[in-house]
Amino acid sequence: MTTEDRIKLRRVVIDRLDSWQQAGVLQVPKAAARIASGDIPNHPSEFIEPRKTQREAESRPALPTEKAEPEITQSTKELTPAMAKKSGWQAEKTTSLFESPKAAANSPAGMTLEILQQQVAGCTRCNELASTRTQTVFGVGDPHARLCFLGEAPGADEDKTGIPFVGRGGQLLTKIIEACKLKRDDVYILNMIKCRPPGNRNPLPHELSNCRGYLESQLDLIRPEFICCLGAVASQNLLQTTISIGKLRGKVHLFRGVKVVCTYHPAFLLRSPSFKKEAWEDMKLLMREMGVDL
């Protein structure tokens, strides 16, 4: 390893630990600390028996650690096949790296997500949310998913169960995922904030900013290649823009090197089914980018 590599690695480790600290992680068990310091491999492909279709470790670089700078970007027309190839999009690879959800949960990212989940469960940064929630709703799915679905905030059903997108909107999201020839277990589902806002009001700016560190740490650990933002709140807040969802959808954006497709929120689609056509166009765009034939 060259001196330059060592300096880069040190920077990555410091940034990673900073981001965990901002998310409220005050202690890291020995194994996680060794992963962060590069002492042991931090990607399962480096030590788990690879399957034939396993993507290359290089195709999933860690998210850059600089602050979220929205790059409201290229339309798909500007994304060339060469760029697609470089990003490792492969039609046949749509399932988890792991033989079972249990194996995934026991992988380093799975275990570190669990630690983060425990921190989130005890969070009291937002007085109102902490005192009205039944429980926090952290996220669910494959900790190594290529694709994350990002919603806004838990609703009543999610607050009751602790699982994101299980209500009527969640059932529609499950149908959308299945229409994309995926299963809920193949993706990771999470929200911008982890507590239910009372009466299902929109999250307030201070709530979004209090939870931002948790979200970014989650994404740092999962290292998805693609994020699908559901609705205006998730889209505008992730990308830090005020552009309307109608204008954000239908394009590929970048968030810290991860490709982002925005679409309408399932709850909105339940109220306004005529927009399902556009949402399906967005899913087709996303699947095309992922190399999944529909």
Residues that bind ligand URA (CB under 6 A): 151-155, 158, 164-165, 167, 169-170, 191, 267
Name which of 108 and 197 has its Cβ closer to ligand URA.
197
Min CB(168)–ligand URA separation in Å: 9
Name which of 139 and 213 has its Cβ closer to ligand URA.
139
Inter-residue contact 247 to 234 (CB < 8 Å): no
State how far the Cα of 174 lies from the Cα of 168, in Å rounded to an integer: 10
User: From the centroid of its chain, how far is CA 111?
Assistant: 16
Name which of 190 and 292 has its Cβ closer to ligand URA.
190
State how far the Cα of 286 lies from the Cα of 259, in Å rounded to an integer: 9
Min CB(167)–ligand URA separation in Å: 6
Name which of 90 and 235 has its Cβ closer to ligand URA.
235
Q: Supply 257's token pair.
A: 């090197």
Min CB(187)–ligand URA separation in Å: 14
Residues in the chain: 294
State how far the Cα of 262 lies from the Cα of 283, in Å rounded to an integer: 9
Crossing angle (nearest 10°) for helices 205-222 and 108-121: 160
The helix/strand/coil state of 188 is strand
Name which of 44 and 169 has its Cβ closer to ligand URA.
169
Which residue number has the CB closest to ligand URA? 151
Min CB(169)–ligand URA separation in Å: 5
Name which of 180 and 267 has its Cβ closer to ligand URA.
267
Inter-residue contact 282 to 250 (CB < 8 Å): yes
Min CB(51)–ligand URA separation in Å: 31
State how far the Cα of 137 lies from the Cα of 208, in Å rounded to an integer: 14
| 258-263 vs 252-255, strand pairing mode | antiparallel
Min CB(196)–ligand URA separation in Å: 9
